[in-house]
Structure 1
Amino acid sequence: MPRFRPLLVFLALLATGLVAGPQQTQPAEAAVVQSVLFEKGGAGYGCYRIPAIVRTKLGTLLAFAEARRTWCGDSQEIDLVVRRSEDDGRTWSAQQIVLSGTDADPNAVATRGNPTPIVDLETGRIVLLTTMDPGTTSRPRTPYVQFSDDDGKTFTKAKNIGAQIDDPTWGWYATGPVHGIQLTRGTHKGRLVAGTNYDVDGRAAGQLVYSDDSGETWHKGATDLRTDGMVPQEISVVEKVDGGIYAGARNNSAGTGNDSRAFAVSNDGGETYATSYTTIPGLTTPIVQGSLLRLRATDQGAKYNRILFASPADPERRRYLTIRSSFDEGRTWQSVAEGTRTTSDWSGYSDMTMLDTGEIGLLYEAGPVDARDQIRFARFTENDIGHPDAPTGPTTPDVSGLGNHGILRGGTTVVAGRFGQARDLDGTDDAIQLPFAESLAVGAGDFTAMSWIKYGARTTPQAIFWGYNLNEYSQFWLRAEPADARIRGLITTGGNTAAVATTKAYNDNAWHHVALQRKAGTLSIWVDGVQVASVASPAGSVSPGRPFKMYVGQRLDGAHHFDGSLDEVRIYKRAITAAELNSIRTSNVTTVPNAVLDLPLG
């Protein structure tokens, strides 16, 4: 995963009380601002909880919350309220009650909550799923739906849909609570999908529900009824670029900070799960709801895929609301250290949406004393949480004309080179990181990667180039392996691998020119202008994933540091000819076309 410089954005507390517009918590030019939308004791309610937020087709933000009449408990008199913003969260309307009481009496005691709003971008309708219990007990739990066809200004009377997506044998039922989605890809484009959960006979189930008629009727979809003790709850869904649905859940059976997140995938529009819920190693949170939001998608023109995950990050307590990212469609997630802390306060449930400005809007529970003190709204940009293609540090210029300047890591030193000056790497932490740039993705085509090397102090494996990925994934690398008396190059394309090696290590502390080349189904290695070995090469892309990482002088995970000097590092997006290669080797020619990287390293 890309490792960003940790960025901690501590959002200061605002003045207490409900405010009409946000107050900035940083200097005026700062991108990150927040406001308190709901606060304990406001409007006669003892507590506000369970935030959910969506942006309508017209760009209006709708921020929902449970307004709990006397205290913060889950089952009591609870109304569902909303606030609207027509300027991307800069100012907000007064709160209005969306749902209260029973079907017969809106003033009766009842629990109305678990808001799961979904925006139908085809019709503009806002569909709102909720769950009701009597308020004096926590059973039965019944799902409802209601609509707004005027941009969230008013909502219809709630309709009981228990017969559609509930079952009388189930003991517990809950919608969301977090926004649902409308599918935009594949056979089921336009379908509305949301997460629910229930229990029956001591077992717990994570369920998806869906509607193909703008929320008028609903269907039970994918269900994972567990028998192993896992309790998937509070499911947040996001559409994958392949049209599948990634469902992220709170695992309510986990011990503190241990396997507290789980996920499942549906590839048929939410009708069935292709995989059961599985815990997510490394995504550590307390036992709490978390929210998902797609930020970027390569099939929509972005350079990389990015899904955001918001949740408290302290493994034991609900605090340190942190934004983490996945760049591989939920397979792996950033660690806490790589994420962006939104607040150092206590924090709890959350939801996210994209704003018309391109900012991310975050609605979340927080407080200086208790996570249930307030519900806050924060706005921030991708700059605030870090780009995978924007590493920082001193650079060495790329003269290819494409601006792929290398970032110097660890403290490389300038030494005499084969031509002009070179960089000496200490074998410990020195390396040159290349930026994430589409021009460096050689894909399924031919390429030539080359460098002058001078080494010999150690016999450990030492990477010269390493690009795109590790292990069985698509990648390419060129590495000195003096303990095995060789320099070896390798490419992997979709699990198919080819490796080529010299019969000498060339670790004589003299300058040698080495190159790895793929040409017309052949992978070859060249040393000092001569092809010394070749093998058949598999077809396919060595760089399909986004974003990718590339290094000169180390492996992607920071291992196999080069101990010696490097000079004139280049990559060509074609198989250059033997004559061209030798003109570079003998005269340092810089006019050979199709270079995507040219680092003189002076």
Structure 2
Amino acid sequence: MTVKSLGLLLLLVCAGLYFAQRGARDPAGASGPPAAPAACQVSFPYAAGAGGYATYRIPAVVRTRAGTVLAFAEGRRTGAGDTGAIDVVVRRSADGGCTWGPLTVAAEGRGDTRGNPAPVVDPRSGDVVLLSSYNGAEATERRILRGEVPPARGRRVFVQRSSDDGRTFSAPEEITARVKRPGWRWYATGPGHALALTRGPHAGRLVVPADHSAAPPPGSPDTGEEPRYYGAHALLSDDGGRSWSLGFVDDAYEGFVNANETSAAQLPDGSLYFGARDQLGTSPGHRADATSGDGGRSLDRPFAPQRTLDRVPVVHGGLLHLGGRDGLLLFSAPSVPTAREEEALWSSRDGGRSFTKALTVDGRKAGYSDLVRLDGETVGLLYETGTRSPYETVEFRRIPLRTLTGAAP
């Protein structure tokens, strides 16, 4: 082969790799998934300003029975704020998160707010069950906390399902009366994926971590801004998401730990681990945790500070148990205590009693995140990130387990 021929061959190879990588970084609103590159690491299912939305936030991710990765988010039409015209949107990937199909709307706000997607795959039917929260466009969180919003425009809870691998979803069905106590004001499902129990006496149960705020007791100042009335709870379904009840309710409201946005994982012994954002509690750090031995019906102990995660700021974080012989539990969140920056992964080999930082993903701004097991060698991280703001893109990153454990479990 001549030098000229060799140079032409190298040029063609480089061009092919370039366009394959561009296909992996498919922005929201693209017409469909191109061929997957041989070894992709990063893709961008959502980018601010693309697909008809100003901002995308609150990611959640699951892998279906068919192996499809579903990336959910809030599509915020007019800005980055938590209130206004917001839809729950989803994109599908048939190649492990390398490329993404077109954006579709799972729950349309029609000018109001639908958000906090909490998807889970029902292990019996294979259906994707999606829970989300609703409020009127004018109902800010502060007004809801103050009790100034009528129930019809306040926080309400809905469930949907998909029987076609996440391509379409049923109309939202309201379940608020079954899972929200009288006197609760704020309410949020998830965020992040919910949990399907796979072992133990409650195998098949769906568990959705959630949080709420309660009205102050009689005689207390009712400003709605006192953070000590935040608490966590869980929603349970034993029939594949067709009926729902309340599980545990964290209602101590003592102000030391204010459990807020919560994630969950099932441990090898069948018990559940709950990790929560501590919302302005007086305890050290910003993370708290609890466990449940009865499938989320009650807690073994109240939420307590998780001191080995003291580098995490006030933010939601993802949880994923990998199973396997070492029972590795992963946690994802930013790693700067005073700012949403430097997305990282922590691991625990003792059921969440202690965590060790396993990987710094990158040094950019970072916000909410979620985790999914892709195969025996790879985990997927879906997280908010950007250079100037954490909310410029929702990025999907494929992470080899060997970088976290030294070897795949």
What TM-score does the superposition give when structure 2 sets the normalisation length? Answer: 0.83
Matched, 1:249 2:276: yes
Q: Give 1:181's match in structure 2, choosing from 195, 202, 207.
A: 195
- Look up the equivalent residue of 1:374 and give its one-letter code: T
Taking structure 1 as reference, are residues 62 and 354 closer, same or farther at Cα in structure 2, changes over 3 Å only? same
Moved beyond 4 Å, runs of 4+: 12-17, 19-24
Matched, 1:342 2:361: yes
1:85: which partner in 2? 93
Q: Give 1:316's match in structure 2, choosing from 314, 329, 338.
A: 338
Q: Give 2:207's match in structure 1, choosing from 165, 190, 193.
A: 193
1:69: which partner in 2? 77
Deviation at 1:209, TM superposition (A): 1.3
Deviations 1:453-500 (A, max 9, x none): xxxxxxxxxxxxxxxxxxxxxxxxxxxxxxxxxxxxxxxxxxxxxxxx
Matches for 1:447-462 after TM superposition, within 5 Å: none
| Alignment length (residue pairs) | 360
Q: Give 1:110's match in structure 2, choosing from 91, 99, 112.
A: 112
1:49–1:66 contact (8 Å) kept in structure 2:
yes
Matches for 1:488-567 after TM superposition, within 5 Å: none
2:381: which partner in 1? 362
Matched, 1:150 2:125: no
Question: Secondary structure in 1 aligned to 2:184?
Answer: coil
Taking structure 1 as reference, are residues 316 and 81 closer, same or farther at Cα in structure 2, changes over 3 Å only? same
2:178: which partner in 1? 164
- Look up the equivalent residue of 2:301 and give its one-letter code: T
Matched, 1:353 2:353: no
CA distance in 1, matches of 2:361, 2:169: 32
Deviation at 1:227, TM superposition (A): 2.5
CA distance in 1, matches of 2:25, 2:103: 18
2:289–2:304 contact (8 Å) kept in structure 1:
yes
Deviation at 1:39, TM superposition (A): 0.8
1:22–1:36 contact (8 Å) kept in structure 2:
no
1:348–1:364 contact (8 Å) kept in structure 2:
yes
2:42–2:396 contact (8 Å) kept in structure 1:
yes
CA distance in 1, matches of 2:35, 2:233: 39
Q: Which has the larger radius of gyration?
A: 1
Deviation at 1:364, TM superposition (A): 0.4
Q: Give 1:291's match in structure 2, choosing from 306, 314, 318.
A: 318
Matches for 1:209-220 after TM superposition, within 5 Å: 209-220=235-246
1:164–1:218 contact (8 Å) kept in structure 2:
yes
- Look up the equivalent residue of 1:307 and give its one-letter code: L
Deviations 1:63-107 (A, max 9, x none): 000000111000110011000011111221010011113xxxxx3
- Percentage identity across paired residues of the two chains: 38
Deviation at 1:23, TM superposition (A): 11
CA distance in 2, matches of 1:274, 1:23: 48
CA distance in 1, matches of 2:35, 2:215: 49
Deviation at 1:296, TM superposition (A): 2.5
Taking structure 1 as reference, are residues 278 and 120 closer, same or farther at Cα in structure 2, changes over 3 Å only? same
User: Where does the alignment leave 5 or more consecutive residues of structure 1 unmatched?
Assistant: 1-11, 102-106, 391-546, 548-602
CA distance in 2, matches of 1:97, 1:177: 17
Please, what is the CA RMSD of the aligned residues?
2.3
What TM-score does the superposition give when structure 1 sets the normalisation length? Answer: 0.57
The higher-RCO structure (CA 8 Å, 6+ apart) is 2
- Look up the equivalent residue of 1:222 and give its one-letter code: F
1:329: which partner in 2? 351
Deviations 1:516-547 (A, max 9, x none): xxxxxxxxxxxxxxxxxxxxxxxxxxxxxxx9
Question: Secondary structure in 1 aligned to 2:336?
Answer: coil
CA distance in 2, matches of 1:269, 1:374: 35
1:23–1:34 contact (8 Å) kept in structure 2:
no
1:204–1:231 contact (8 Å) kept in structure 2:
yes
Deviation at 1:167, TM superposition (A): 2.2
1:60: which partner in 2? 68
2:122: which partner in 1? 120
Deviation at 1:239, TM superposition (A): 0.4
Higher helix share: 2
- Look up the equivalent residue of 1:126 and give its one-letter code: V
Deviation at 1:253, TM superposition (A): 1.3
2:286: which partner in 1? 260
Deviation at 1:168, TM superposition (A): 3.2
2:148: which partner in 1? none
Matched, 1:236 2:258: no
- Look up the equivalent residue of 1:225 and give its one-letter code: D
Question: Secondary structure in 2 aligned to 1:189?
Answer: coil
1:16–1:39 contact (8 Å) kept in structure 2:
no
1:32–1:381 contact (8 Å) kept in structure 2:
no
1:364–1:375 contact (8 Å) kept in structure 2:
yes
Deviations 1:94-152 (A, max 9, x none): 10011113xxxxx3x21000000010122101110000000111341001000001111
2:194–2:206 contact (8 Å) kept in structure 1:
yes
- Look up the equivalent residue of 2:49 and give its one-letter code: G
Question: Secondary structure in 2 aligned to 1:385?
Answer: helix
2:287–2:309 contact (8 Å) kept in structure 1:
yes
Taking structure 1 as reference, are residues 358 and 35 closer, same or farther at Cα in structure 2, changes over 3 Å only? same
CA distance in 2, matches of 1:369, 1:289: 20
Question: Secondary structure in 2 aligned to 1:164?
Answer: helix
Deviation at 1:243, TM superposition (A): 1.1
CA distance in 2, matches of 1:161, 1:131: 10
CA distance in 2, matches of 1:85, 1:16: 11
Q: Give 1:137's match in structure 2, choosing from 136, 139, 146.
A: 139
1:22–1:89 contact (8 Å) kept in structure 2:
no
Question: Secondary structure in 1 aligned to 2:71?
Answer: strand
Matched, 1:275 2:298: no
2:279–2:286 contact (8 Å) kept in structure 1:
yes
User: Where does the alignment leave 5 or more consecutive residues of structure 2 unmatched?
Assistant: 1-20, 145-153, 217-228
1:447: which partner in 2? none
CA distance in 2, matches of 1:354, 1:260: 26
Deviations 1:543-600 (A, max 9, x none): xxxx9xxxxxxxxxxxxxxxxxxxxxxxxxxxxxxxxxxxxxxxxxxxxxxxxxxxxx
